[in-house]
Amino acid sequence: MALKAVKTAPQADPWQVALKQFARAADLLSLKRGIREFLIHPKRELTVNFPVQREDGSVQVFTGFRIHHSTVLGPTKGGIRYHPDVTLEEIRALAMLMTWKCAVVGLPYGGAKGGVICDPKTLSPTELEHLTRRYATEIAMLIGPESDIPAPDLGTNPQIMAWIMDTYSMHHGYSVPAVVTGKPISIGGSAGRIEATGRGVMIVARETARHLGLPLAGARVVVQGFGNVGSIAAQTLHAQGCRIIAASDSGGGVYQADGLDPEDLLRHKQHAGTVAGYRGSDAVTNADLLELPCDILVPAAMEGQITAENAPRIKARIVVEGANGPITPEADEILSERKVFVVPDILANAGGVIVSYFEWVQDLQSFFWSEEEINERLERILVRSFRDVLAVSQEKKIEMRTGALVRAVGRVADALLTRGIYP
């Protein structure tokens, strides 16, 4: 899942953005002060500093974090990020967002997030394994199949999850596959997990089109970021009859008015390392790609791509946030005024955590489902969640982003009041 470094808009402090979004939902729910206070404070935050011996014999100290935002709905769930720009505030914001993402789709989890300040591209495979096993040991007091279940995020992958699972299992003396999700299938991973986020993007895009009366057959789709999420979203939307008119990655973009073949484009990318240069297509820059006239725009690369600067020129009717936070709060307001229908990240890319939940359930039962069963269950949860959020946003006359937060925060607040305050 490594993203190449690309220049993006300067980011607002992610924790302040998360607090602002929460406050809006809390106001609409008329939450009492004490409940608000409780929900904005992460339950626990762990910072660890640990040494790793490099291949040249030198020792380097790394800093990592694991944060549990909320345990009200169940054990915590959230990815682990390896990136040089990781900060405590970023991980705190992402942990809170995980609480809302799990709650909006009705999973029995609270939110968590972890990260290590490092550039995985500069570490050898052995160094990466040592860093991962040591970090897993340092946060072992927090993780576990009943307490906190990590997953991959930027800079981490199924192999890293396998090392965490193995390290945790060695400490316990028996195999504990349910301690992480996003593992390789050979050690308890789930069928359909790799495709889940992109498939989920397709499901919510399809439901949105249905709601707006837009026929999917021939609908023009633009995908920014032809990676895991973007390429699967493109393929599954293409299978629904959409025309994928443009796609991009960090190497550039391609445009074809009568539609690209996403499977063939993926083969080209696997061979050439980028979608750029695909035969029969015109080149388009990433900036221009976002502004192409289209029906559905899927930003599936990274955060901060649609800003106050380019939002007035976005011509899509629907924007489905495959990536986390691709639209800045200022751009969100502009799109809302311009009546662009935005499906927010916590709903649009929840397919990944939903199938992670299925992986955890299968591991706990040691009983595995077929890919068809996984996809059917994913479909059911996402369609129900989309309709739920749409109903809230129509009833309260608010955008889908705030509707999703109202649904999520309301669920956690209800559970908190039902459980009561200990002692």
**322 near ligand NAD, judged by CB under 6 A:** yes
Nearer to ligand NAD, 154 or 318 (CB): 154
Catalytic-role residue among 113, 315, 339, 396: 113
Q: Does 132 bind ligand NAD (CB under 6 A)?
A: no
Using CB under 6 A, pick the residue from 190, 235, 281, 324 that binds ligand NAD.
324
CB of 104 vs ligand NAD, minimal distance in Å: 13
Site for ligand NAD in 201-260 (CB under 6 A): 224-230, 248-250
Residue nearest to ligand NAD (CB): 227
Closest to 192 measured CA to CA, from 244, 154, 228: 228
Nearest approach in angstroms of CB 215 to ligand NAD is: 27
By the rule CB under 6 A, 190 interacts with ligand NAD:
no
Active site residue 113: yes
- Residues from 12 through 51 that contact ligand NAD (CB under 6 A): none
For ligand NAD, the binding residue among 160, 221, 323, 342 (CB under 6 A) is 323
Shortest Å distance, C-beta 301 to ligand NAD: 3
Q: How far is the CB of 156 from ligand NAD (least distance, A)?
A: 10
Residue 31 or 320: which CB sits closer to ligand NAD? Answer: 320
- What Cα–Cα distance (Å) separates residue 313 from each residue in 145, 293, 294? 46, 10, 12
Instruction: For the CB of residue 349, give the shortest distance to ligand NAD in the complex, in Å.
Output: 4
Site for ligand NAD in 360-419 (CB under 6 A): none
Contacting ligand NAD (CB under 6 A), which of 301, 311, 390, 406?
A: 301
Which of these, 262, 293, 287, 288, lies nearest to 275 by C-alpha position? Answer: 262
- The C-alpha atoms of residue 363 and residue 378 are separated, in whole angstroms, by 17
Please tell me whether residue 114 binds ligand NAD under the rule CB under 6 A. Answer: no
Residues of span 146-175 touching ligand NAD by CB under 6 A? 154
Looking at beta carbons only, is 249 or 295 nearer to ligand NAD? Answer: 249
Task: Give least dist CB 230 to ligand NAD, A.
Answer: 6
Judged by CB under 6 A, which stretch of 1-9, 46-54, 171-179, 306-314 contacts ligand NAD? 1-9
Stretch binding ligand NAD (CB under 6 A), from 37-45, 163-171, 298-306, 406-414: 298-306
Closest of 159, 226, 198, 154 to residue 5, by C-alpha: 154
- Measure the CA–CA gap between 231 and 261, rounded to whole angstroms: 11
Alpha-carbon distance of 247 to 237, in angstroms, equals 13
By CB under 6 A, is residue 91 in contact with ligand NAD?
no
Q: Which long-range contacts (CB under 8 A, 24 or more apart) does 417-420 make?
A: 417/35, 419/72
- Of 28-36, 43-51, 184-192, 321-329, the segment contacting ligand NAD by CB under 6 A is 321-329
- Give the residue from 120, 133, 48, 52 showing the smallest Cα distance to 84: 120
By CB under 6 A, name the one of 42, 75, 352, 403 that touches ligand NAD: 352
- Give the residues lining the site for ligand NAD (CB under 6 A): 1-4, 6, 154, 197, 224-230, 248-250, 286, 300-302, 322-324, 349, 352
Task: Tell me the catalytic residues.
Answer: 113
